[in-house]
Amino acid sequence: MPFLKALAATASAVVLGASLTACAGSPAGGDPGTGGKVIVGIKFDQPGLGLKEGDGYTGFDVEVAKYVAKDLGYTEVEFKETPSAQRETLLASDQVKMIFATYSITDDRKKKVSFGGPYFQAGQDLLVAAANTAITGPETLNGKKLCSVTGSTSAKKIQDQFANQVQLQEYDTYSKCVDALASGSIDAVTTDNVILAGFAAQAQYAGKLKVVGKTFSTERYGVGIKMGDTKLCNAINTSLAKMVTDGSWQKALDATVGKSGFTPDTAVNPPKPDACA
Ligand code: GLU
């Protein structure tokens, strides 16, 4: 009997411990204003947006992440790679607190995660060899080999709307697609124009690749957070608005995406954050 009693006491202590942790925030970071370290998800291979270079990180997503994290009172940011297909899982399992990774806000994703923002608007496009004159838009992809990334809106759009025309090759990152394009094993890469422009501007692809320049979707980049964390969502939106007003948003964009020669659509950028549900 005493043994069972002890066991029951341990069990309730464990449960209590778990709920206390949940109140204080996730293992990836506390609530806004509580300070400490925050784990933030970004891409590691997208030049101009989220790129790991040695021990450092560069890109527009990285700059927005740093601004927001600091404004929310976190004293340290740890960046973790969040490939497209893993984003919802990494948020739900508390491995990252926020994701800034060319992460489009969609109704489908809102069933699993919530979003602050948007903080940028892009559109799906195509990247082809500089000499390619045959591919001028998605309707010209008949019989072509097209590469995109698993778990992205880009791959889904092709599956949903152009699947009977193209052979879709999916990798886990866009850099693998771009390598395949440069080596000639595929005909085109599809994802957001701003991502493609960043790759095309890389020194190793100079003069070899071009963005077609005819977008066929609307991609609104949000800050992915755990589903239902309205407090965090509101805090992020306040930070994003501040980032635009004090000029930091434009400065960050010019210093990153601007360097790839990409001109964002100023009619829709910077976008106004959505209301938090
Ligand atoms: N913005 C699109 C998406 O969220 C494509 C880029 C990406 O895969 O990160 O799926």
Same domain, 35 and 63: yes
Q: Point out the ligand 1 atom lying closest to the alpha carbon of residue 101.
A: 9
Question: For 249-270, how does the pLDDT look when each residue is reduced to its tens digit (9 = 90+)?
Answer: 999 999 999 999 899 999 999 9
Non-local (6+) Cβ contacts of 270 within 8 A are 119, 120, 244, 249, 250
Nearest CA to ligand 1 atom 9: 102
> Mutation test of ligand 1: which of 152, 175, 193, 199 has the most ligand atoms closer than 8 Å to its C-beta?
152
Half-sphere exposure of 49 (CA within 13 A, CB side): 29
Beta carbons of 222 and 116 less than 8 angstroms apart:
yes
Report the C-alpha gap between 115 and 106 in whole angstroms: 9
Beta carbons of 107 and 259 less than 8 angstroms apart:
no
Same domain, 37 and 85: yes
Report the C-alpha gap between 52 and 75 in whole angstroms: 21
Residue 113 burial (CB count, 10 A): 22
Residue 39 lies in a domain: yes
Instruction: Give how many domains the chain has, as a whole number.
Output: 2
pLDDT value of position 21: 41
Report the C-alpha gap between 63 and 48 in whole angstroms: 10
248-250-252-256 Cα dihedral, nearest 10 degrees: 180
Mean pLDDT for 143-172 is 94
pLDDT at 8 over 80: no
Question: For 204-233, how does the pLDDT look when each residue is reduced to its tens digit (9 = 90+)?
Answer: 998 999 999 999 999 999 999 999 999 999
Q: Of 194, 211, 228, which marks where a domain is finished?
A: 211
Same domain, 133 and 204: yes
Same domain, 107 and 236: yes
Report the C-alpha gap between 96 and 229 in whole angstroms: 13
Same domain, 231 and 254: yes
Same domain, 36 and 114: yes
Whole-prediction pTM value? 0.91
Comparison of pLDDT for 15 and 167, the residue scoring more: 167
Same domain, 145 and 197: yes
Nearest CA to ligand 1 atom 8: 152
Residue 271 lies in a domain: no
Same domain, 173 and 249: no
Residue 194 lies in a domain: yes
Same domain, 71 and 151: no
Q: Domain span at residue 195?
A: 124-211
DSSP assignment letter at 276: P
Q: The domain spanning residue 172 has which CATH number? A: 3.40.190.10
Same domain, 89 and 156: no
Tokens of 88: 């919802």
Beta carbons of 90 and 41 less than 8 angstroms apart:
yes
Residue 272 lies in a domain: no
Report the C-alpha gap between 251 and 270 in whole angstroms: 12
Q: Which amino acid is at 211?
A: V
Same domain, 78 and 108: yes
Q: Point out the ligand 1 atom lying closest to the alpha carbon of residue 219.
A: 1
Residue 252 lies in a domain: yes
Task: Give the orientation angle of helix 60-71 with respect to helix 230-245, to 10 degrees.
Answer: 110
Same domain, 118 and 253: yes
Residue 53 lies in a domain: yes
Residue 270 lies in a domain: no
What residues are in contact with ligand 1 under a 6 Å CB criterion?
Answer: 84, 101-104, 149, 152-154, 191-192, 219
Q: Point out the ligand 1 atom lying closest to the alpha carbon of residue 103.
A: 4
